[in-house]
């Protein structure tokens, strides 16, 4: 396996979905290639940082508007049996 | 246990069941649970607060209207994120003046592994992700790096790695083939790695390739 071939199977390797035979070749390459080892480690950390990062906060006023809209639509569809006529 | 506490520990499946039977509190509890994620996804996809708010509202109104048809094949969160992606894609298409053209069409050919850029700045990071997430300033770095990605790469990364959808689910949500989704995900991951490593990498532990391809 060459470095470029390793890159092409990188997704499957870090997601744990790589075919076991390819996984073995992948790890054999990494054992002898420090740059690829570091790249794989960097990628794992990158994914972890984004996965564990904070979502944007929904501003309070937006949240209030959202819930009023939901309540209003609920009333229209649940009390009259369908959307209010235009 | 108060009603609010009961709702807080109730599963999504149970809340969906109650909402389907006409319980608005149950539906609002579901909205409370996922509104931040939906807003965040929309804001990161669209990079514009008003559009993100509109998409958030459309998403939950659409979820409310279509709740009866939700059979629970995917989790409620995946279903809602898929609705949000569709709504955000509509905004993107409108911005580009595209009505029905798929985002895939114009870019299909370049989505191959052949032209994947090689990593350039390779170095161990100075700190672990666990240490980094405790710092406030890291969030800005993450958002800036994300904003630099091409939209088509960013959308895939957001759904797969930030929101945790499977490749198949992300592909369906974006109307892409799984193959294209995988290539775009790889490009996004590699570019973000490059950006973050230039800031977080330890220059003293920088690794230089002796030759390009061995």
> CB distance A8–B125 less than 8 Å?
no
Residues of A in contact with B128 (CB under 8 A): 45
pLDDT digit string (tens) for B139-150?
999 999 999 999
Asked if residue B119 and residue B91 are part of one domain, the reply reads: no
Asked if residue B118 and residue B89 are part of one domain, the reply reads: no
Asked if residue B156 and residue B91 are part of one domain, the reply reads: no
Asked if residue B64 and residue B139 are part of one domain, the reply reads: no
Asked if residue B92 and residue B7 are part of one domain, the reply reads: yes
Within-domain flag for B106: no
Residue A16 in this model has a pLDDT that exceeds 80:
yes
Interface residues of chain A, partner chain B, Cβ below 8 Å: 2-4, 7-8, 10-11, 14-15, 33-35, 38-39, 41-43, 45-59, 62-63, 65-67, 69-71, 73-74, 77-78
Orientation angle between helical segments B24-46 and B12-20, nearest 10 degrees: 120
Complex ipTM above 0.90? no
Residue ending a domain, choose from B96, B122, B139: B96
Would you say the pTM of this structure is higher than 0.90?
no
Within-domain flag for B104: no
- Closest-CA residue of chain A to B36: A58
* CATH code of the domain in which B135 resides: 1.10.10.10
Average pLDDT over residues B153-175: 94
Residue A45 in this model has a pLDDT that exceeds 90:
yes
Radius of gyration of chain A (CA): 25
Within-domain flag for B101: no
Number of folded domains that form chain B: 2
Domain, as residue range, for B8: 3-96
Asked if residue B73 and residue B118 are part of one domain, the reply reads: no
Asked if residue B92 and residue B10 are part of one domain, the reply reads: yes
Q: How far is B130 from chain A (nearest CA, A)?
A: 8
Q: How far is B34 from chain A (nearest CA, A)?
A: 11
């Amino acid at each position: 396996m060459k470095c470029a071939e390793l890159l092409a199977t990188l997704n499957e390797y870090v997601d744990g979905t790589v075919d076991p035979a390819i996984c073995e070749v992948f790890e054999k390459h990494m054992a002898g290639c420090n740059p690829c080892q570091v790249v794989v480690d960097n990628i794992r950390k990158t994914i972890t940082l984004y996965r564990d990062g904070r979502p944007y906060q929904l501003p309070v006023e937006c949240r209030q508007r959202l819930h009023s809209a939901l309540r209003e639509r609920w009333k229209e569809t649940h009390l009259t049996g369908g959307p209010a006529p235009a | 246990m108060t009603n609010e506490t009961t709702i807080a520990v109730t599963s999504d499946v149970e809340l969906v069941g109650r909402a389907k039977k006409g319980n608005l509190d149950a539906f609002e509890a579901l909205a409370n649970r996922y509104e931040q994620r939906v807003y965040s996804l929309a804001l990161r996809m669209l990079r514009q607060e008003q559009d993100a708010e509109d998409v958030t509202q459309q998403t939950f109104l659409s979820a409310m209207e279509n709740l009866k048809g939700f059979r629970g094949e995917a989790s409620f969160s995946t279903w809602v994120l898929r609705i949000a992606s569709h709504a955000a894609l509509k905004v993107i298409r409108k911005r580009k003046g595209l009505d029905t053209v798929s985002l895939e069409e114009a870019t299909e050919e370049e989505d191959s592994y052949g032209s994947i850029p090689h990593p350039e700045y390779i170095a161990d990071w100075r700190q672990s992700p666990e240490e980094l997430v405790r710092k406030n300033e890291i969030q800005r770095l993450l958002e800036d790096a994300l904003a630099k990605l091409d939209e088509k790469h960013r959308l895939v990364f957001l759904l797969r790695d930030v929101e945790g959808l499977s490749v198949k689910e992300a592909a369906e949500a974006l109307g892409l083939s799984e193959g294209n989704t995988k290539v775009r995900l790889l490009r996004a991951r590699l570019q973000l790695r490059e950006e973050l490593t230039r800031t977080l990498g330890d220059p003293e532990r920088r690794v230089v390739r002796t030759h390009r391809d061995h």
